[in-house]
Structure 1
Amino acid sequence: MNEFLVEVTTDIPDGVDPAEVDRRRAAEAVRAAELTAAGHLVRLWRPVGQTRSIALWRAADEAELRDKVLDTLPMRPWMTSVVTALQPHPNDPGKGGVTG
């Protein structure tokens, strides 16, 4: 599985019924849990004071990430995303790459 950093901004259109927003947010939490269990969603952050999120995702490739993972999110119609493919760094302390 490849790793991807995904920055998402959600912009709910004016006039959307608040009950619909609540319904989608609840469904989004359920779907995020499913994607975590499937090994796709690894970490999720929200920068302090911002409405965007940053997540670490895993997928076979960017097409799978977009088509079979991100596009299944209930809030997706209101999201814009920036996907950055990642590769291991030789000095990554999380992978034992730093030598001393």
Structure 2
Amino acid sequence: MKEFLVEITTTIPDGTSQDEIDQRRAAERERAKELASTGHLARLWRPVGELRSIGVWLADDEDDLRQNVIGTLPLSVWMTFKVTPLQPHPNDPGPGGGGQG
């Protein structure tokens, strides 16, 4: 699978009931757990003081990512996605990176 950096901004439409928001957020938590357990969601962060998320996601290609991974999130109808394909860096100090030893 390929890695993607995905910036997610969620905008809840005006007039949406709190009950619907709560239900979608609960479903979102469950779906994120499922995607993590299947290896599609590697990491997820929220910048301090911001209502957006940044994550590392894995999929076969960008179409697969958009259709079968992030497109399946219950909040996706309220989300915008900025997707950046990633590739290993030769100086990556992490496991398998070229920057060690």
Partner residue in 2 for 1:38: 38
Partner residue in 2 for 1:97: 98
Q: Which runs of 5+ in 2 are unaligned?
A: none
Verify the 8 A CA contact 2:88 2:97 in the aligned structure 1.
Answer: no
Distance 1:99 1:43, change over 3 A: closer
TM-score (norm 1): 0.97
Q: Percentage identity across aligned positions?
A: 63
Runs of 4+ in structure 1 deviating by more than 2 angstroms, as ranges, are: none
Q: CA RMSD in A?
A: 0.9
Q: Which runs of 5+ in 1 are unaligned?
A: none
Number of residue pairs matched by the alignment: 100
Hey, what's the Cα distance between the residues in 1 that align with 2:19 and 2:28?
A: 14
Match runs of 1:18-29 below 5 Å? 18-29=18-29
Letter in 2 for 1:56: V
